[in-house]
Amino acid sequence: MPSSPVTPDNTVIKHCQQWIKTLVIGQNLCPFAKTVFIQEKIHYQVDHNTATAARLEALISECQRLDNQTTLETTLFICPQGLSDFDDFLDLLAIAEPLLKAQGYEGTYQLASFHPQYIFANTPPDSAENYTNRSPYPILHLLRESSLETALLHYNDPEAIVEHNIALMNRLGTPHLQHLFNSFTHQTDNSL
C-alpha cells in the first residue's frame, strides 16, 4: 500500500498559523497568544522523527533553542507523522514531561499538548469541549514559565479561562468546530 504524501513543512506551519489566528486568537482561547503571534515570537518546529528517542532528543534541542534565543517566547513542536493515534501521543507526552524535569527544565519550560483527536478524560469523543485542545497536527507546546507567570499577573481571573473556553466550544458546537478544523488544512498558500 502506498504511503500518504508528506505535507511540506511550510504548509504544516501555515495550517498551524491559521489555527492560531482563527481559533486560538480569534475565539480568545488563550488571551496571551495574540501578542506573541503578532510579534512573531513563536518558533514552529516541524519534527519528522517517528522513533520516540529521536523525537524526544529533538524536543530537548528545542528547549536549548529557547535557552539560546531569548527573543522567542514559545515553540510549537509539530509532529505531522507517526502520532495520529491519540494514545500514542499521550504515551509520548508521559515520557516528555519527566524528561524535561530530568534535563533540568522544571520551572523553566512547561509543556501544553494539542492533538487532532484530543479527548479529555471522562468526556465523550464528540464533545465540543475537546476542541479547546484540538489542533491540525499533534503538537507539544513549549512555554516559558516565567513569561506565563508574568502574563497571568496581568489577567484578572486566570481560572476563568478554562471555564470560558469550555462554554464557548459548547456554544459553537461540534459540527461548526469540525467544519472550522477542516478549513485549516484546506487553506491556500495565500490564506494568511
Residue 39 lies in a domain: yes
Residue 116 lies in a domain: yes
Residue 117 lies in a domain: yes
| pTM score of the predicted model | 0.90
Residue 133 lies in a domain: yes
Residue 8 lies in a domain: no
Residue 7 lies in a domain: no
DSSP the chain: -PPPPPPPHHHHHHHHHHHIIIIIITTTSSTTHHHHHHTT-EEEEE----SHHHHHHHHHHHHHHHHH-TT--EEEEE--SS--SHHHHHHHHHHHHHHHHHTT-TTTEEEEEE-TT---TTS-TT-GGGGGG--SS-EEEEEEHHHHHHHHHT-S-TTHHHHHHHHHHHHH-HHHHHHHHHHHTT--TT--
> Which residues share a beta bridge with 78?
46, 139
Residue 160 lies in a domain: yes
* 56: nearest Cα among 20, 85, 82: 82
> What is the rounded CA–CA span in Å between residue 176 and residue 183?
11
Residue 15 lies in a domain: no
Average the pLDDT over 141-151 and give the result.
Answer: 86
Average the pLDDT over 27-34 and give the result.
Answer: 87
DSSP 24-62: IITTTSSTTHHHHHHTT-EEEEE----SHHHHHHHHHHH
Residue 158 main-chain phi, psi, to 5 deg: -60, -30
Average the pLDDT over 24-42 and give the result.
Answer: 91
| Bridging pattern class, strands 74-78 and 109-114 | unpaired
Give the pLDDT confidence score for residue 32 in this predicted structure.
84
The domain total for the chain is 1
Q: Which domain holds residue 122?
A: 27-181
**Local confidence band at 103 (pLDDT 50, 70, 90 cut-offs):** very high
**Local confidence band at 2 (pLDDT 50, 70, 90 cut-offs):** very low
> What is the rounded CA–CA span in Å between residue 96 and residue 47?
14
- The yes-or-no verdict on residue 81 having pLDDT over 50 is yes
> What is the rounded CA–CA span in Å between residue 41 and residue 104?
23
